Amino acid sequence: MSAKALRAKLADARTLIALTAVIAPLCAQAQARRPATPPASPAISASQRVMAGSMLSVVVSRAPAGARLAVARPGSPASSAILVEAIGARPSVTIPVPGLAADYELRLTRDEAGLPVILLTQPLIATQAQATLAASTRIRRGAAFPARGIGPNGERDRVVLVPKDAPADTSGPSFFPAENVEAVLDAPDTPGDYELRYLMNAPLAEGRVLARQGIVVE
């Protein structure tokens, strides 16, 4: 290589080194100024239209510590709720829907300075609760008979056999449709007119009879 070519290569190398010395600090500064990715916000996912008195499954994502789910009237204060359920570490929570058909609001809340604060909301429409019953209309006294009851299937709902016109809180042979919509009941030993009832027990609608079927015990 000639002396002239060698001097050209050395000049190019010195230029590259100088450019690197200028560009490297600029790249470092640009990376330092890049904003950090903000943490993801909490989220809830659930059906927005369900039957009054039914059970609602809510999927909760990225909930902060101490967060709770609440059902309230739209526009009501954060401290006013029909029901509140702690979330803990669970990814989903099942809560009862109020038993009255109306517009509600599903809320994710937590306490700040000792007071509840609403983090986010989702509309919740509760439609009219309905139930159906099926059983024989005439049964021998003391006999076992199959019965079926389908309705909101809330966790405290019952299908119960009681004397006709008995108060709503009267006890008798019963089963919980949330566990199984069909069961075998024992007819009373005393003949007479009875009723098979679907009894809803939900927030705002405790002990409400949704359906009746007359049964004669002979």
> What are the sequence ranges of the domains in the chain?
43-127, 132-217
Instruction: Spell out a b/e string for 155-169, using b for 16 or more CB atoms within 10 Å of the CB, else e.
Output: eebbbbbbeeeeeee
Q: How far is CA 82 from CA 28, 65, 86, 140, in A?
A: 54, 22, 14, 44
The reported pLDDT for the residue numbered 41 is 86
pLDDT at 124 over 90: yes
Strand pairing report for 174-175 and 158-163: antiparallel
Beta 49-51 vs 115-127: how paired, if at all? parallel
| pLDDT at site 168 | 87
Q: What is the mean pLDDT of residues 18-35?
A: 57
Whether pLDDT at 37 is above 90: no
pTM of the predicted model as reported, rounded to 2 decimal places = 0.78
pLDDT surpasses 90 at 51: yes
Query: Which of 56, 53, 113, 104 has the alpha carbon at shortest distance from 81?
Result: 104
pLDDT class for 90, splitting at 50, 70, 90?
confident
Domains 43-127 and 132-217 in one fold:
yes
Q: What is the CATH number of domain 132-217?
A: 2.60.40
In the predicted model, is pLDDT for residue 1 greater than 90? no
Residue that the structure tokens 């009681």 belong to: 162
Position with higher pLDDT, 132 vs 20 = 132
Q: Is the pLDDT of residue 35 over 80?
A: no
pLDDT digits (tens, 9 = 90+) for 139-181: 999 999 999 999 999 999 999 999 999 998 899 999 999 999 9
- Residue 20: predicted pLDDT: 56
* DSSP state letters, 93-151: EEEEPPSS-EEEEEEEEEEETTEEEEEEEEEEEEEPP--EEEE-SEE-TT-EEEEEEES
CATH among 2.60.120.10, 2.60.40.10, 2.115.10.20, 3.40.50.12280 for 43-127: 2.60.40.10
- With cut-offs at 50, 70 and 90, classify the pLDDT of residue 5: low
Q: In sequence order, which residues have a C-beta less than 8 Å from that of residue 169 and are 6 or more positions away?
A: 207
